[in-house]
Amino acid sequence: MNTWFSEKLLVWYQLNKRDLPWREEKDPYKIWLSEIILQQTQVIQGLAYYQKFITHFPKVQALAEASENQVMKLWEGLGYYTRARNLHATAKIIASQYKGKFPKHYNQIRALKGVGDYTAAAIASFAFNLPHAVVDGNVYRVLSRVFNLKVPIDTAAGKKQFQELATALLPNKKAATYNQAIMEFGARYCKPRQPDCQNCIFSHTCMAFEKSLVESLPVKEKKTKVVPRYFNYVVLIDTNNRVSLQKRTSNDIWKGLYEFPLIESSEPISLKKALALAEKKFGLSALRSKLIYQSGNYKHLLSHQTIHACFYVFKPVKFKNATTENIALKDLSAYPFSQLLVKFLKDCELREIV
């Protein structure tokens, strides 16, 4: 069915493919690693992280034996930290249940933590050339436009229809190359905005181009709701230049990362209110007289949340509770932080202001 589509795409790919380190890779461990890193991440940013991980953990066994802090530290700045935790958990499962050998069957791969339909199809096809069609954002875009498919991609019916079409188009014996080709084409030509229709190999057959529907496809039913959150960080430093840190452990953003004691409010609050809340929450007094630095407002964008943050630095404050550790300022760089905290630490050079 529709062999014209796959044939054209495969010819284009042979002439235009980018040289990426995982491109000709057949090792399922490295493919899995690259696919998890590239979920919600641009190739250009993911490349450096892929290389860091391969250098530190050349085999799945090495990743399984790493500490959580080591994995999170390497992942620092990449966002969507659940991916790092799943990566670590899955490495442990492969090391124990599969004796360090990556599973070879689609259903076993699909059952791994953090591996959805797309990632399972990518690993199965790239590593083992199994006939499973990938459907990611690029594929949704290309297929919806070329075939003028208007069913919303964020509905069960839409997902099913796109998966069926992608499977029907897949040349079974060339699953690995074809899957790479369609994603590469979507990333480089059929881009979300301003696709290169004039120079596109499908410009004579693409239904969306013919009907001027390019910008309106693919269709999404739900709009992403972005929730604002207000983080007031209390940076407590003692006379020995040790700072209080706590690990985020609840099922919220940045689980497994470290941060300063936090007061979250439902709206922006004044310095006076922040001080009063900090004193009450942490059982401290006379914080105002110990305030040595107050940051400006930081705005940190996540896919479903916007974090508005402010940092208040106090010294000297002796503080310890069941959930905090006191860490020497010079050792802070060994701990994994969110990108927001990395930025704050870089901006204010804590060691210089105390």
**Interface with ligand SF4 in residues 132-151 (CB under 6 A):** 142, 145-146
Piece of the chain touching ligand SF4 by CB under 6 A; list 97-105, 107-115, 200-208, 282-290: 200-208
What is the pattern of x (binds ligand SF4, CB under 6 A) and - over residues 206-235?
x-xx----x---------------------
**Near ligand SF4 by CB under 6 A: residue from 49, 53, 102, 189:** 189
Who's near 318: CB < 8 A, 6+ residues apart?
Answer: 238, 239
- Tokens found for residue 295: 């940051």
- Tokens found for residue 330: 């010079």
Least separation in angstroms between CB 200 and ligand SF4:
3
String of b and e for 72-96 (b: at least 16 CB within 10 Å)?
bbbbbebbebebbbebbebbbebbe
**Near ligand SF4 by CB under 6 A: residue from 183, 190, 257, 350:** 190
> Does residue 19 sit in helix, strand or coil?
coil
Query: What DSSP element (H or E) covers 36?
Result: helix 28-38
Least separation in angstroms between CB 265 and ligand SF4:
45
Piece of the chain touching ligand SF4 by CB under 6 A; list 119-127, 202-210, 240-248, 345-353: 202-210
Number of residues forming the site for ligand SF4 (CB under 6 A):
15
Least separation in angstroms between CB 184 and ligand SF4:
13
Give the up-direction half-sphere exposure of residue 185: CA atoms within 13 A in the CB hemisphere. 28
Closest to ligand SF4 by CB, 207 vs 348, is 207
**Near ligand SF4 by CB under 6 A: residue from 12, 49, 147, 202:** 202
Q: What DSSP string describes 202-221?
A: TTTT-HHHHTT-GGG-S--S
Start-to-end Cα distance in the chain:
69
Piece of the chain touching ligand SF4 by CB under 6 A; list 49-57, 169-177, 189-197, 337-345: 189-197
> Does residue 153 sit in helix, strand or coil?
coil
Residue 67 and residue 88 in contact, taking contact as beta carbons nearer than 8 Å: no
Active site residue 35: yes
The span from the CA of 221 to the CA of 276, in Å, is 44
Site residues (CB under 6 A) for ligand SF4?
A: 142, 145-146, 189-190, 195-197, 200, 202-203, 206, 208-209, 214
What residues act catalytically? Answer: 35
